[in-house]
Chain A
Amino acid sequence: MSFDNAYESLLGHDDSHWAFGTGFSEALAGVNREFPAGVDTADLAAYCLMLGDDALIFSQRLSEWCSRAPELEEDIALANIALDLLGQARLLLSRAGEVLGKSEDELAYLRDEREFRNVHLAEIDCGPGPGGDFGTTIARLLVFSSWRLALFSRLRGSADPVLAAVAEKGLKELAYHRDHAAQWTVRLGDGTEESHRRMQAGLERVWPFVDELFATHAVEARLTGVAVDPASLRSEVDGVLDAVLSAAKLSRPADTRAARVAGMAGRDGVHTEAMGYLLAEMQHLHRSLPGAVW
């Protein structure tokens, strides 16, 4: 074997080991991908986008904390949680992409704001930038992971084999995320006067976005046996949140509801002001350099 230059000798006969994401990038290669009988595949794609976008957008928000968290271990923890959610997003967007004829990257980077189906809780700006706070980020992580864990627990029984498999796998990850948020909530809520105040303020900031999590969308209502009706999760999630808040000596904020636009919110592609800025940062590289891969 002879090589013309040093790089060739490094490459050997296969260059696929040069970067993550090359050579084996199809997220669902070999997974049972049959569509369940009688399911409307357009609805299934929309539902996969909902759950996938929740994970993708919240993952982007969490990764903003990398190098900005209060301590090194927390940088790593939030980045690990973001990575788990990004993995869930890849699988779910790939599933949607099978119906829509698009790749996961096209869905993540080339859709515009109105085409994203995530809940507002995933997109609002809780820091580390101006106006944000670590307490608010923990409050959001607590609510989001408690809700998604309850959802995935039921989604294990979905008639769609991909959704059931994603849920079975993601369930264990989300249990770690929820425990992490719950332990921080107790530490901060039952900590100093300052940490208590900021944790309570964090809850007040995210609470108006809780109601949307449990509102049944028409797509979810139509996908009987495939989707989970989020309204059915409310009492379980409330029980978990109450247990954490009580241990943390925090009070549950009054039930307020963020405004909708003509009855529509994130699931309909109607987003808050924060979403455009988030997408600009997340998508600009791919859009500036079309076809670029790592």
Chain B
Amino acid sequence: MTTALEVASAVRDPELPVLTLADLGVLRDVSEEDGRVVVTITPTYSGCPAIDEMGADLRRSLLAAGFSEVEVRLSLSPAWTTDWISAEGRSKLAAAGIAPPARIGPVAAGPVPLNLVPPSRQVACPQCGSPNTSEISRFGSTACKALRRCHACAEPFEHVKEI
């Protein structure tokens, strides 16, 4: 029999359907309590509208797999970071033409430093691989993506921005 963890891990992200919720790192825990499956997820951004959809998709998939009762819980802390996107998830993003985020490490305590010059992270073009790209807009089609362009192949592309 398929386990609840296997079913939940296969549910795809509604806005980045190349990734599963497990690849994205938002699936935090799957357990069974008193015959009920309890799934814990965490939002990518505070206002991410996809979080409701994720909960509904998880519930639907688990019910369809034969689990009779499903509860979806939200976890806010620790806060989601793009560092939780798995290595497999990063390859899937790149294959879909979306540049994966760089790894940023934990957020330091104390005041957040001001960046008057955008960080000069090298983001390789997912189409041609050229490192010669620049940011068009920090804010893209969803909360988690920025828009960039490649100067080598002249194609625009999306980039899952580091958070």
Does A pair with B? yes
The answer to whether B137 and A87 have CB atoms under 8 Å apart is no
List the B side residues contacting A25 at CB < 8 Å: 52
Query: Which of A79, A85, A168 is the one whose CB lies under 8 Å from B77?
Result: A168
A29 to B116, CA, bound (A): 38
Query: Which of A14, A20, A30, A244 is the one whose CB lies under 8 Å from B49?
Result: A20
Number of A-B residue pairs having CB atoms within 8 Å of each other in the complex = 148
A21 to B55, CA, bound (A): 10
Within 8 A of A (CB), among B57-104: 57, 59-60, 63-64, 72-81
B34 to chain A, nearest CB (A): 16
A147 to B80, CA, bound (A): 23
List the A side residues contacting B77 at CB < 8 Å: 32, 161, 164-165, 168-169
Q: Which of B81, B112, B163 has the most CB of A within 10 A?
A: B112
Chain-A contact segment, one of B2-10, B16-24, B38-46, B120-128:
B38-46
The answer to whether B78 and A168 have CB atoms under 8 Å apart is yes
Does B152 reach chain A (CB closer than 8 Å)? no
The answer to whether B59 and A23 have CB atoms under 8 Å apart is yes
Q: Which residue of A lies closest to B136 (CB)?
A: A73
Q: Which residue of A lies closest to B42 (CB)?
A: A169
The answer to whether A84 and B137 have CB atoms under 8 Å apart is no
Within 8 A of B (CB), among A219-248: 236, 240, 243-244, 247
Does A24 reach chain B (CB closer than 8 Å)? yes
A21 to B136, CA, bound (A): 31
Q: Which residue of B lies closest to A246 (CB)?
A: B116
B134 to chain A, nearest CB (A): 13
List the B side residues contacting A283 at CB < 8 Å: none
The answer to whether B114 and A88 have CB atoms under 8 Å apart is no
The answer to whether A24 and B141 have CB atoms under 8 Å apart is no
Query: Which of B47, B50, B107 is the one whose CB lies under 8 Å from A171?
Result: B107
Does A175 reach chain B (CB closer than 8 Å)? yes
A12 to B59, CA, bound (A): 13
The answer to whether A243 and B118 have CB atoms under 8 Å apart is no
Does A91 reach chain B (CB closer than 8 Å)? yes
Does A22 reach chain B (CB closer than 8 Å)? yes
B57 to chain A, nearest CB (A): 7
The answer to whether B57 and A17 have CB atoms under 8 Å apart is yes
Given contacts A169-B76, A183-B116, contact A17 B56 (CB under 8 A): yes
Q: Which residue of A lies closest to B51 (CB)?
A: A24
Q: Which residue of A lies closest to B72 (CB)?
A: A24
A52 to chain B, nearest CB (A): 11
Given contacts A14-B59, A22-B52, A168-B79, contact A83 B143 (CB under 8 A): yes
Interface residues of B, dominant DSSP: loop
The answer to whether A153 and B47 have CB atoms under 8 Å apart is no
A219 to B47, CA, bound (A): 27
Does B147 reach chain A (CB closer than 8 Å)? yes
A171 to B110, CA, bound (A): 11
The answer to whether B47 and A86 have CB atoms under 8 Å apart is yes
List the B side residues contacting A179 at CB < 8 Å: 114-115, 118, 138
Q: Which residue of A lies closest to B79 (CB)?
A: A169
Given contacts A88-B47, A169-B79, contact A182 B114 (CB under 8 A): yes
Given contacts A23-B56, A77-B137, contact A150 B75 (CB under 8 A): no
A77 to B140, CA, bound (A): 7
A246 to B63, CA, bound (A): 59
Nearest 10 Cβ contacts at the A-B interface: A30-B73, A87-B47, A87-B46, A24-B55, A165-B76, A73-B137, A77-B139, A165-B77, A83-B47, A169-B79
Interchain residue pairs with CB less than 8 A apart (24): A14-B56, A17-B57, A23-B56, A24-B52, A24-B59, A28-B74, A29-B74, A30-B40, A30-B74, A31-B73, A76-B141, A77-B137, A80-B139, A84-B47, A87-B48, A149-B112, A169-B43, A169-B77, A172-B107, A173-B45, A175-B112, A176-B163, A178-B114, A244-B116
- Beyond the given A13-B63, A87-B47, A173-B46, please list 4 additional residue pairs across the A-B interface where CB-CB is below 8 A: A20-B49, A80-B143, A88-B46, A176-B139
